[in-house]
């Protein structure tokens, strides 16, 4: 299984549906087995949904990067 760090490396592309099928499988496996990433993924998706519903369908890097930065910061500093 991939690590949380590897997960977050691909996370931005995953949100934009730009990962290969093999990576997608790895990411979804990690999501199903890692509670921390699942929770963060869930809250990020809600944020992204709000952003995309209020604007265009595409998620520009300028929007997705700050979200991922925040999620990663929370992962590093959060309890566990
Ligand atoms: Zn994880």
Residue 73 alpha carbon to ligand 1 centre in Å: 13
Count the Cβ atoms, other than its own, within 10 Å of residue 72. Answer: 16
CA of 14 to the centre of ligand 1 (A): 14
Listed as ranges, residues in the chain with pLDDT below 70 are: 51-52, 55-64, 78-80
Ligand 1 centroid–CA 41 distance in Å is 10
CA of 47 to the centre of ligand 1 (A): 19
pLDDT of residue 19: 93
- Residues bordering ligand 1, an ion, CB closer than 5 Å: 4, 34, 37
Contacts for 33 with CB less than 8 Å, ≥ 6 apart: 1
Asked if 75 contacts 43 with a C-beta cutoff of 8 angstroms, the reply is no
Q: What pTM was estimated for this model as a whole?
A: 0.61
Q: What is the pLDDT of residue 40?
A: 85
């Amino acid at each position: 299984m991939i690590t949380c760090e590897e997960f977050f490396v691909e996370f931005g592309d995953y949100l934009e549906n730009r990962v290969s099928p093999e990576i997608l499988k790895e990411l979804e496996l990690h999501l199903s087995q890692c509670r921390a990433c699942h929770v963060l993924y869930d809250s990020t998706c809600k944020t992204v949904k709000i952003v995309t519903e209020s604007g265009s369908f595409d998620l520009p890097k300028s929007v997705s990067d700050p979200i991922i930065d925040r999620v990663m910061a929370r992962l590093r500093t959060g309890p566990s």
